[in-house]
Amino acid sequence: KTAAALELSARTESMARGGGRMPIAMDQAFGVTFKDPDGNTFIDLSAGVGVSSVGRCNPRVVEAIRKQSESLMHSMEVNSSKRTELAAKISEIMPDGLRGDCITFFTQGGSDALEAAVKFAKRVTGRHQIIAFHGGYHGIWNASNALTTGTAYRKGFGPFMGGVIHAPYPYAYRFPFDTSHKSAEQIAGEYVDYLLNTPYTAADDVAAVIVEPVQGEGGYVPPSPEFLQILRKACDRSGALLIVDEVQAGAGRTGKMWAVEHSGVKPDMLTFGKGIGGDMPMAGLVMRSDLAAKIPDGSQPNTFAANSISAAVALTNISILQDPRLDLVNRAHTLGLEAQERIRSFNSPWVGEVRGRGLMIGIELVENRETREPLSREKLGKLMDYVVGHGVLMIPCGRYTNVMRVMPSLTIPRSLMFKGLDIFGAGLASL
Shortest distance, position 348 Cβ to ligand PMP, whole Å: 27
Shortest distance, position 236 Cβ to ligand PMP, whole Å: 24
Query: 193 by DSSP, 3-state: which?
Result: helix
Q: With left for phi above 0 and alpha for psi between -120 and 50, is residue 396 left, alpha or beta?
A: beta
Shortest distance, position 280 Cβ to ligand PMP, whole Å: 12
d(CA 61, CA 31): 11
Rule CB under 6 A: is residue 138 a binding residue for ligand PMP? yes
Q: How many CA atoms lie within 13 A of 398 on its CB side?
A: 26
Q: CB nearest ligand PMP: which residue?
A: 110
**Closest to ligand PMP by CB, 50 or 255:** 50
Rule CB under 6 A: is residue 212 a binding residue for ligand PMP? yes
Shortest distance, position 114 Cβ to ligand PMP, whole Å: 6
Give the torsion through C-alpha atoms of 110, 392, 400, 382, to 10 deg.
-150
Cβ atoms of 367 and 375 within 8 Å: the answer is yes
Rule CB under 6 A: is residue 115 a binding residue for ligand PMP? no
Rule CB under 6 A: is residue 216 a binding residue for ligand PMP? yes
- Among 53, 68, 248, 340, the residue binding ligand PMP under the rule CB under 6 A is 248
Q: Which phi and psi (to 5°) does residue 44 adopt? A: -105, 105
**Closest to ligand PMP by CB, 197 or 310:** 310
Rule CB under 6 A: is residue 279 a binding residue for ligand PMP? no
- Among 31, 222, 273, 362, the residue binding ligand PMP under the rule CB under 6 A is 273
Shortest distance, position 244 Cβ to ligand PMP, whole Å: 10
By CB neighbour count within 10 A (0-12 exposed, 13-18 middle, 19+ buried), where does 49 fall? middle
The helix, strand and coil proportions of the chain, stated in percent and rounded to the nearest 5, come to: 40, 15, 45
Q: How many residues bind ligand PMP (CB under 6 A)?
A: 15
Shortest distance, position 83 Cβ to ligand PMP, whole Å: 19
DSSP sequence for 11-65:
HHHTS-TTS---S----EEEBTEEE-TTS-EEEESSHHHHT-TT-BT-HHHHHHH
- The CA radius of gyration of the chain, in Å to the nearest whole number, is 21
Tell which positions 280-299 bind ligand PMP, by CB under 6 A.
283
Cβ atoms of 99 and 174 within 8 Å: the answer is no
* Binding-site string for ligand PMP from residue 24 to residue 63, where x marks contact by CB under 6 A and - marks none: ----------------------------------------
Rule CB under 6 A: is residue 352 a binding residue for ligand PMP? no
Q: Dihedral sign, CA of 178, 179, 184, 185?
A: negative
Per CB under 6 A, residues contacting ligand PMP are: 109-111, 114, 137-139, 212, 216-217, 245, 247-248, 273, 283
